[in-house]
Amino acid sequence: MLLSIPVIRSLWMFLFWVNASPATGVEERNVWIFLRDKVDREGRIVEWRIGSQGHSTYQLDLPVRDDYIEDVRQVVVDIRTTSRWFNALSARVTPEQEPALRSLSCVRSIGPVLQLYRPQTASFSDLPAGRLAQQSDYGVAFEQLAQTEVIPLHQLGYTGSGMRIAVIDNGFHYITHRAFEQRLNVVAQRDFVNDDDVVTDQVDQSRTGDETRSSQNLHGAQVLSIMAAYDPGRFIGVAPDAEYILAKTEENATELPVEEDRWVAGLEWAVGLGAQVVNSSLGYNIWDVGESYEYADLNGQTALTSIAATMAVERGVVVVVAAGNEAGSAWHYITAPADADGVITVGSVGISIEDERLPVIAGSSSRGPTADGRIKPDVVAPGQGIVVADVRGGDYKRSSGTSFASPIVSGVCALLLQANPQWNPDDVLSALRYSALDLGEAGPDTVYGWGHIQAFSASGLRVSTPGDTAFLKPFPNPAYGQNMYFPLSLDRREEVRLSIFDVSGTTIFDTVWNMMSGSYVRSDNAPYWPIGSGVTSGVYFYLLRSSSVNKSGSLAVIRR
């Protein structure tokens, strides 16, 4: 399931994958085939069970036995994927083949490969620019990066260099968009749907057909743009200098199915290639035929995607997962693998345009807790009205969903690891939690988690407290009846108060801005005094205050 906002149905429905064979008319389905054991390099038998408990990293990396694969191949229609971590195969079978499959001595158990149907997603193509929307090289990405304290890390040189981020999604049509032309560094890509090494649009795919005429490969490219884009003056992503591993695991088809076997295969592949951060803007919740996940199953130990995600974390990989967009549906809660223990589960908040308020949770952002009582989401990030690449249009647009909050956090995790290479996944999660801006109820809750991520604060880096140079001289001074601006730079989110007094000491203007970290030095983004018609020529005084610095001085207004 793509975790951008659904607009047609309020509840995403999930089904087993079934297909009538053209030759026989017999219904087929995809199943997981869990095998009994592996053989280690010394020839010893290793009994197997689902999950990593009791299995070493060495054992998890042992391949599935070739003789078992061949035994299964003789019985099923075809084998789709293999999983080393689960010691399992995903295969397509007919009802007549299942009894023979279950009777094989190498087979421990069989379960369904589950997949979803989801409706189309919401998109907002307009880009109404607030006073903060355009800021030097960041362009329309400024708001979402400033709100998460990414810009101070960029200014210190932390842009993802040397970090390797894996993205698991529906494909990545990145080759024709300006966001990716200058700097994108893709070190590996794999199409697990069509079984090739191209994740961008192709016209003759075995399963997805002519991808230029569908939405295949668009969602993943939008997710990728949030992290990897480098289009100075228009849009810059969170981690433009990172290396990227792209796993295409989702087949869009008519109703956009996603199957968990490809997700697991993509995760194992990416971890094997050295991914340090994995982003998954996909999720699973309700199934309406046969086997079903219920809320009670969201315990981190039932869904195979959740078990696999935890296994990746145990191997030292930071796994970031979108919480889901189910808050307005009957389901309400997070989706798998967002329930996995150790993963960073991300909810969605809006962009604080014009700094008028603190970020507010998106109405659709899935709520916690997990079925076993753990607080989820862990943190929230901008996802409502966030700016992403307009893959077909060539520019940028606004879209919404926890799909787009998750890559903000994934990119931040790469910056944190670059700044703190000794950190493990638990260190990253703890840093994000305990530096977060607390929103909603005091303390961690099941709506905002620990709060809104603050990347610079989480990094543990320190810079000197700004002095007078943080507040530059107001301009124009004297003013001839127009606005007067008060440029400043902030290294963290602060409340900035501007007060204007006449010569008698009477306050004639007083307002407060809740400002994010960044540089506010131009007339389109600096705090300002709107000099009204009632202000006469003369000398006035100002006081500009924040938690770190106060600045005062005199002003002149000249009426002609």
Instruction: List active site positions.
Output: 169, 219, 403
H or E stretch covering 53: none
d(C-alpha 298, C-alpha 375), whole Å: 12
d(C-alpha 274, C-alpha 503), whole Å: 66
The 3 state secondary structure assigned to 58-97 is HHHCCCCCHHHHHHHHCCCCEEEEEECCCCEEEEEECCCH
Using alpha carbons, select from 191, 228, 231, 181 the residue that is nearest to residue 211: 191
DSSP code of residue 410 = H
Amino acid of residue 537: S
Angle in degrees, CA 234, 236, 239, rounded to 5: 175
H or E stretch covering 20: strand 18-20
d(C-alpha 240, C-alpha 161), whole Å: 8
For 108, the 3-state DSSP assignment is strand
Q: Which residues contact 419 (CB under 8 A, 6 or more apart)?
A: 153, 156, 158, 459, 460, 461
d(C-alpha 31, C-alpha 50), whole Å: 15
What is each CA distance from 331 to 483, 493, 534, 556, in whole angstroms? 51, 35, 56, 61
Using alpha carbons, select from 364, 393, 340, 50 the residue that is nearest to residue 218: 393
For 302, the 3-state DSSP assignment is coil
Q: Which residues contact 78 (CB under 8 A, 6 or more apart)?
A: 91, 92
The sign of the CA dihedral 485, 491, 495, 499 is negative
d(C-alpha 275, C-alpha 245), whole Å: 7
Q: Which residue has the tokens 């005199």?
A: 554
Binning the chain into helix, strand and coil, the percentages to the nearest 5 are 20, 30, 50
Question: Quick one: 233 exposed, middle or buried, by C-beta within 10 A (0-12, 13-18, 19+)?
Answer: exposed
Backbone angles phi, psi at 261, to 5 degrees: -65, -40
Using alpha carbons, select from 282, 288, 292, 290 the residue that is nearest to residue 259: 282
